[in-house]
Chain A
Amino acid sequence: MKMTLRALLGATVSLTLAQGAMADTITIATVNNGDMIRMQGYTEDFTAKTGHTVEWVTLEENVLRERVTTDITTKGGQFDIMTIGMYETPIWGKNGWLVPLSDLSAEYDVADILPAMAGGLSYDGTLYAAPFYGESSMIMYRTDLMEKAGLSMPEAPTWEFIREAAAKMTDRGADINGICLRGKAGWGEGGAFITAMSNSFGARWFDENWKPTFDGEAWANTLNFFKGMMDESGPAGYATNGFNENLSLFQQGKCGMWIDATVAASFVTNPKDSTVADKVGFALAPDTGLGKRSNWLWAWALAIPAGTQKEAAAKQFIEWATSKGYIEMVAAKEGWANVPPGARTSLYENPEYQKVPFAKMTLDSILSANPNAPTVDPVPYVGVQFAAIPEFAGIATDVSQEFSNAYAGQQTVEEALAKAQAIATEAMEAAGYN
């Protein structure tokens, strides 16, 4: 009896010590958006399942990008998991800065990740980041104003239709703008929108020889169309409007249409924040009949920086946070409309999720974007609303500033394009591309 008791006690102590030795505290850098904050609230579930604890560092998107870039390029080792996007992943994967996610468990079901997402988060066929949620862009429109204008929104409209509808929906006296779009400078703000739009007009950032193409007709058509339509039917000061400004306008009923991130659908249909929650319809982003639509593709994904001492625990966290089980847990507690969208095929096959009003359009939008062939003419880069090369963020920020100046009337479209061509050419030559 005494022996048994001693053995039991010994086993308990050993188990406790072993668990203590295996339990890690991992530090995760992340962005401040609804889905990520929700995930932080469920950390206890991860700790209960694995014994590992989590420390969160939440930062604004641009601050986070600078912060994790500094840390990973200097091997600072401050983070065990980083929240990064489709732009950084292939570049960092190529540089060997990320741990390949090639040995995830069978239960995790890597094949279930939407192919567009897996493709954008891979380099040379290897997955380097697991998508937590994905998004494309689509049209969100006011069904009541569309009806009042005597029009019916097609499921896949053209830019000509959108311009005509915007003009008819505009009612300056009632402070209603037919269309709200991003004009704000910044590669992830107005730069992302105009790049995605330019794809549908047959434009591209660089030709097959990495030569910038802002001196071509397609870019002139894109910018002239955008500025013409926004001057006719857009809100005052649209040159400085980004996602949040347009979201605010749309929620207050001041926009007839808004083309932006699919993730906005849950905001504009939430009666708690939106005054037009029950009057919103969805459609695919417009095209011009050239074979490419103007929607983008993006994912916020979790990646492990190479050199972390806690790789095993970090992988366990990624498997937990981006699993089917996590989605089911959120659905059970907060409803299907609140699960992280756009990452897994099985989510869109779920009959419960299919009842969410924006689910189908989100999936259709994601599926219609191809980061490996984003433009009408061939390009040497990967990415729909960006080119996945390290130089792009800097060039696109400067170029989008020139475009914003043109929207604001501080220069002509021709002048903006000439400056964009000069900026991009100089930067690409300095980087040794041509």
Chain B
Amino acid sequence: MARAATNRRKTINTILAWSVGLLIFFPILWTILTSFKTEGDAIAYPPKFLFFDWTLENYSIVQERSNYMRYLWNSVIIAGGSTLLGIIIAVPAAWSMAFVPSKRTKDILMWMLSTKMLPAVGVLYPIYLMFIKLGLLDTRLGLVIVLMLINLPIIVWMLYTYFKEIPAEILEAARMDGASLKSELLYVLTPMAIPGIASTILLNIILAWNEAFWTLNLTAAKAGTLTAFIASYSSPEGLFYAKLSAASTMAIAPILILGWFSQKQLVRGLTFGAVK
């Protein structure tokens, strides 16, 4: 009787999980399907789900019109660079907050997080003017710095949470064995926090890859990322939904593939320390 009830609950949970999963994935699926339609089929009502004239024309038009590889390469450099720089700064910061906390540590953490609550447009002009002075407009370096800075609070918070789960006694033992601070960070703390660091890196790459406000406002012809590539296909005066969908599919494909292959790591890292 109890086993039947457990099985029923399991089935319901599975159905619910699949339903929610499909619901979340549906917009992406619809975008991918639309990218293979003609512009006429893309706006047809009732919508055509699978039975339409499949075409690759939109992909060939997008390829012809835009330098996709340049946008892709910029995205890779900027997302990867900002993440790497962020991790280098955040690991020591999170270590000190987790293992050598001061009276103000909690306040500093809250203050860091509060910077995420500020609307980005509020600091657009000061940053734009700084970039003009420093010659960083439309450069990958400029975007690496900005994206690192805007994601740094999240990286520090995530690493701080993971580091808090590591018993301080282990680090103390390493110190008693004569480990220097550098060795303690590199050879003791980091290997133990690898799942947390890996998921932080993955999440940060996803955030940087999808970032649109700064990548649109601080770039022109040279450092544009895939978000700028998508934006170039959006139009309020003309129905180009199929081409826009093809551009979107090309832009999200790399990050979708990355997410698919690293989902185990991502989930493990995100739930690290969640259940005690």
Chain A positions within 8 Å of B, measured between CB atoms, are: 27, 29, 31-34, 37, 40, 55-63, 66-67, 70, 74-79, 188-189, 242-244, 247-248, 251-252, 254, 261, 263, 267, 272-273, 275
Contacts and interface: CB of A to CB of B under 8 A. Distances in A.
B142 to A, nearest CB: 12
Nearest to A27: B221
Interface in B205-240: 216-217, 220-222, 224, 228, 231-240
B120 to A, nearest CB: 12
A66 B212 CA distance: 14
B132 A34 contact: no
Given A189-B236, A242-B236, A243-B237, A78 B220 contact: yes
Interface stretch (B36-44, B146-154, B176-184): B36-44
- 8 smallest beta-carbon distances between A and B, as pairs: A55-B221, A58-B232, A60-B234, A78-B220, A32-B235, A248-B43, A27-B221, A57-B220
A394 to B, nearest CB: 14
Contact of A32 (B124, B137, B222, B234): B234
A32 B220 contact: no
A61 B239 contact: no
Contacts of B236: 60-62, 188-189, 242-244
Q: Is the interface of B mostly helix, strand, loop or mixed?
A: loop
A243 B234 CA distance: 13
Interface residues of B, number: 30
Contacts of A77: 132
Contacts of A76: 128, 132, 137
Contacts, number: 92
B8 to A, nearest CB: 41
Nearest to A28: B221
A55 B125 CA distance: 25
Nearest to A75: B132
B235 A61 contact: yes
B240 A74 contact: no
A37 B128 contact: no
A77 B132 CA distance: 9
B231 A33 contact: no
A272 B53 CA distance: 14
A320 to B, nearest CB: 19
Contacts of A55: 220-222
Contact of B43 (A29, A188, A243, A251): A251
Nearest to B220: A78
A57 B138 CA distance: 12
A76 B124 CA distance: 13
B3 interface: no
Contacts of A58: 232
Contacts of B45: 252, 254
B17 interface: no
A15 B235 CA distance: 43
B231 A63 contact: yes
B276 interface: no
A78 B137 contact: yes
A273 B132 contact: no
Contacts of A60: 231-232, 234-236
B103 interface: no
Nearest to A186: B236
B128 A267 contact: no
A380 to B, nearest CB: 29
7 contacts: A33-B235, A33-B238, A61-B236, A61-B237, A70-B128, A74-B125, A78-B137
Given A32-B233, A67-B217, A244-B239, A252 B125 contact: no
Nearest to B224: A57
Contacts of B65: 37, 40
Contacts of B231: 59-60, 63
A66 B216 CA distance: 10
A251 to B, nearest CB: 7
Contacts of A74: 125, 128-129, 132
B233 to A, nearest CB: 6
Interface string B143-186: 00000000000000000000000000000000000000000000
Contacts of A33: 235, 237-238
A76 B129 CA distance: 8
A56 B233 CA distance: 13
Nearest to B44: A252
Nearest to B238: A33
Interface in B113-140: 124-125, 128-129, 132, 137-138
A220 to B, nearest CB: 29
A218 B108 CA distance: 58
A57 B43 contact: no
